[in-house]
């Protein structure tokens, strides 16, 4: 990707905006990702099933491991690339625990096995550097935006609260609160 972006950058300098070469280069990686071998699973209690198509953001090569027991009534998840955000907070709030990693990724539940992907959900997972855990929440896009907005608002408030400490040297903390 980095190499491609560099080439596109060079082309952009030499070509007029909207040059044909730019358009010709862009779709290539997506096309390759779309050509996947259909995945066939063999339920213990039924005929082989070809899994439904992946959503375009699914990065799983296979959805079931070899020899993984599958039942005809099962479903499965499509999953996209994870964003990992390390924090300094010890996992579970326990002393001596590893730091908590917040992972965010797109998920979609497909059920039954041959069905297409269900609606895309944003999964937030709390884990450690080594492991994901069951501590997670799946949110619809609107819910994910609400979580993101709440976090941004809180972060902004926290940062603004930190700033005046130096600027408001002449004011009594108590006096400032009473005035508002
Ligand atoms: Zn998939």
pLDDT tens digits, one per residue of 24-54:
343 434 434 555 678 999 999 999 999 999 9
Tokens standing for 175?
């006096």
**For the chain, first and last CA: distance in Å?**
53
Report the separation in Å between the CA atom of 97 and the middle of ligand 1, taken as the mean of its atom positions. Answer: 33
Alpha-carbon distance of 14 to 6, in angstroms, equals 13
Report the separation in Å between the CA atom of 3 and the middle of ligand 1, taken as the mean of its atom positions. Answer: 27
Question: Which residue from 113, 108, 99 is spatially nearest to 41, judged by alpha carbons?
Answer: 113
Report the separation in Å between the CA atom of 98 and the middle of ligand 1, taken as the mean of its atom positions. Answer: 31
Q: 96 near 90, Cβ under 8 Å?
A: yes
Q: What share of the chain has pLDDT > 90, as a percent? A: 64
* Cα angle: 77, vertex 83, 88; to 5 degrees: 125
Beta bridge partners of 139: 122
Report the separation in Å between the CA atom of 57 and the middle of ligand 1, taken as the mean of its atom positions. Answer: 8
Q: For residue 164, what pLDDT is reported?
A: 59
Q: 71 near 43, Cβ under 8 Å?
A: yes
Residues with CB under 5 Å of ion ligand 1 are 54, 58, 60, 78
DSSP H or E segment with residue 141: helix 141-162
Give per-residue pLDDT as tens, 98-109.
Answer: 999 999 999 999
Report the separation in Å between the CA atom of 53 and the middle of ligand 1, taken as the mean of its atom positions. Answer: 7
Report the separation in Å between the CA atom of 59 and the middle of ligand 1, taken as the mean of its atom positions. Answer: 7
Q: Structural domain boundaries of the chain?
A: 37-160
Question: Which residue from 102, 149, 160 is spatially nearest to 129, judged by alpha carbons?
Answer: 102
Report the separation in Å between the CA atom of 28 and the middle of ligand 1, taken as the mean of its atom positions. Answer: 20
Query: Which pTM does this prediction carry?
Result: 0.67
Report the separation in Å between the CA atom of 37 and the middle of ligand 1, taken as the mean of its atom positions. Answer: 11
Report the separation in Å between the CA atom of 157 and the middle of ligand 1, taken as the mean of its atom positions. Answer: 39
Give Cβ neighbours of residue 144 (< 8 Å, ≥ 6 apart): 122
Give per-residue pLDDT as tens, 62-99.
Answer: 999 988 999 999 999 999 999 999 999 999 999 899 99
């Amino acid at each position: 990707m980095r190499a491609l972006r560099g080439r596109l950058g060079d082309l952009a300098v030499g070509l007029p905006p909207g040059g044909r070469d730019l358009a010709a280069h862009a779709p290539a990686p997506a096309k390759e990702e779309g050509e996947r071998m259909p995945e066939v699973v063999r339920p213990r209690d039924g005929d082989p099933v070809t899994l439904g198509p992946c959503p375009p953001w699914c990065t799983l090569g296979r959805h079931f491991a070899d020899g993984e027991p599958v039942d005809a009534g099962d479903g499965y998840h499509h999953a996209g690339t994870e964003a990992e955000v390390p924090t300094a907070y010890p996992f579970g709030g326990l002393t001596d625990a590893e730091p908590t990693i917040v992972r965010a990724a797109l998920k979609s539940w497909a059920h039954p096995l041959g069905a297409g992907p269900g609606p895309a959900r944003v999964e937030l997972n709390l884990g450690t550097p080594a492991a994901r855990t069951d501590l997670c929440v799946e949110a619809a896009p609107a819910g994910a935006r609400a979580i993101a907005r709440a976090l941004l608002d809180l972060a902004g408030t926290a940062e603004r609260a930190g700033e005046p400490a130096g600027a408001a040297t002449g004011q009594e903390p108590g006096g400032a609160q009473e005035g508002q």
